[in-house]
Amino acid sequence: MWKDEEVSAIYGREVARQQRVLRMIPSENIMSEGVRAALGGVFCNKYAEGYPSKRYYQGQENNDALERLAQARACALFGAEHANVQSYSGSPANMAAYMAVCEPGDRIMGLGLNSGGHLTHGWKVNFSGKLYEPHRIEVEEGTERLNYDKIAEMAREVKPKVLFIGTTSYSRVLDFKRFREIADEVGAYLVTDIAHVAGLVVAGAYPNPVPYADIVTMTSHKTLRGPRGGMILCREKLAQAVDRAVFPGIQGGPHMNQVMALAVALGEAARPSFRAYGQQVVKNAQCLADHLTRLGLRIVSGGTDCHMMVVDLRAKNVDGKTAATALEKSGIVCNFNAIPYDPNPPRRPSGIRLGTPCLTSRGFKEDEMAKVASWIVRILDDPENAELQAKTASEIEAFLKNYPVSPVID
Ligand code: DSN
């Protein structure tokens, strides 16, 4: 550990926190030691503005080899024609996708936040809602699912330049083929943002949009279990536009340590153990949703097809913020989340969002998920009970001693 005692003390506390709590924020995961080592390696000492064989600094032979390797691994895993591996994270990757196919003022269509979309899918305070003209797709009020006939009807009226389709809290599979048909009918580009489900796609546990979308964006640190970062896949005919949007359009030099860590993660994701991991993530989420339902909670849309779910807490007379705070005191870390058509304000919404990527990386299976469900419901039934929270936190801490905070890669 470093000589910096102040930093070391904080770091040590974070190591301990991650060991002792159930981490259930669906966008988080646990990187392997190989990925973490790559992030701290010597590639962070080197600038690499440009692309392989077209750099603006000398000394690039290893950067070029590394970037080409990461690109080749990404294309092979997802079946893509071109990969850009330089995006600093998901939001800049999405910005680059817009810049590759849109001009400011163009009409765009994407899911609203409460329907499970992301800020960068056209939210009014985000660049995507300010630079472009956003039109929001919402889930149906009764089913809380997308209605593709209505989306097609809306697209015919709006005539968007791009359908920008992705999710952060919509737990059902997206019909990418249908979105392609809608885009084709109105002459729009189809961009899909698979930040949350990228690892599930690789594992064959969620549909792959690559055959249908013009551009696919993602982060590398969620279910894909790589470094914090972003990645863009596209058809060859858009490769130059995407690359130019990333650099020099948005970014300067890529973080080559991040590119190295991405290459390592993509190598891990190609192994059979990752396929088993991704499949187990979904089984665990479905098992958790079933148990929570049996214990009296309502899952938005009735369940999940992926790694996460939004839980409607109104039956328990507790709001999402109060619930997330009580759960954290009990050793269960999640985030408060709006439900579709939420009657409550965003800072105190009606739901929480729960995910299984981290717990599955620690080796949890269905039996463990049953225990997790009972801990959650015990706290939600009595959210002001500090004694119960402390007791549950101790129980969870003891339980977790048998589960390493590092995924097994074999
Ligand atoms: N912040 C991410 C999430 O939690 O879903 C999306 O970028």
CATH number of the domain within which 282 lies: 3.90.1150.10
**Tens of pLDDT, residues 237-274:** 999 999 999 999 999 999 999 999 999 999 999 999 99
| Residue 305 within any structural domain of the chain | yes
Select from 218, 253, 269 the last residue of a domain: 269
pLDDT for 3 equals 85
For residue 3, report the distance from its CA to the centre of ligand 1, in Å. Answer: 34
Residue nearest to atom 5 of ligand 1 (CA): 168
Lowest-pLDDT choice from 2-11, 27-36, 43-52, 114-123: 2-11
Q: Which residues are near ligand 1 (CB < 6 Å)?
A: 27, 90, 118, 168
pLDDT for 330 equals 98
pLDDT higher than 60, residue 1: no
Question: Do 296 and 264 have their domain in common?
Answer: no
Select from 238, 269, 300 the last residue of a domain: 269
For residue 62, report the distance from its CA to the centre of ligand 1, in Å. Answer: 32
Domain housing 105: 34-269
**Tens of pLDDT, residues 315-335:** 999 999 999 999 999 999 999
Per-residue exposure over 99-137, b if at least 16 CB sit within 10 Å of its own CB, e if not: bbbbeeebbbbbbbbbbbbbbbbbbeebebbebbbbbbb
Question: Do 241 and 317 have their domain in common?
Answer: no
Question: Do 350 and 284 have their domain in common?
Answer: yes
| Residue 225 within any structural domain of the chain | yes
Per-residue exposure over 66-79, b if at least 16 CB sit within 10 Å of its own CB, e if not: bbebbbebbbebbe
Question: Do 178 and 239 have their domain in common?
Answer: yes
| Residue 393 within any structural domain of the chain | yes
Question: Do 281 and 210 have their domain in common?
Answer: no
Residue nearest to atom 2 of ligand 1 (CA): 27
CA gyration radius, the chain: 21
* Average pLDDT over every residue of 42-57: 98
- Out of 24, 25, 27, 170, mutate this one to test ligand 1's pocket (max ligand atoms within 8 Å of CB): namely 27
Residue entry with tokens 């995924």: 407
Average pLDDT, the chain: 97
| Residue 4 within any structural domain of the chain | no
Question: Do 249 and 148 have their domain in common?
Answer: yes
Question: Do 173 and 56 have their domain in common?
Answer: yes
**Tens of pLDDT, residues 212-231:** 999 999 999 999 999 999 99
**Tens of pLDDT, residues 360-393:** 999 999 999 999 999 999 999 999 999 999 999 9
Q: How many domains does the chain have?
A: 2
Residue nearest to atom 6 of ligand 1 (CA): 168
pLDDT for 277 equals 98
| Residue 148 within any structural domain of the chain | yes
| Residue 197 within any structural domain of the chain | yes
Residue 309, number of CB atoms within 10 A of its CB: 29
Question: Do 308 and 260 have their domain in common?
Answer: no
| Residue 381 within any structural domain of the chain | yes
* Average pLDDT over every residue of 16-38: 98
pLDDT for 407 equals 87
- Out of 115, 193, 196, mutate this one to test ligand 1's pocket (max ligand atoms within 8 Å of CB): namely 196
Question: Do 312 and 257 have their domain in common?
Answer: no
Question: Do 114 and 239 have their domain in common?
Answer: yes
Question: Do 60 and 121 have their domain in common?
Answer: yes
Q: Which atom of ligand 1 is nearest to the CA of 28?
A: 4
Question: Do 87 and 154 have their domain in common?
Answer: yes
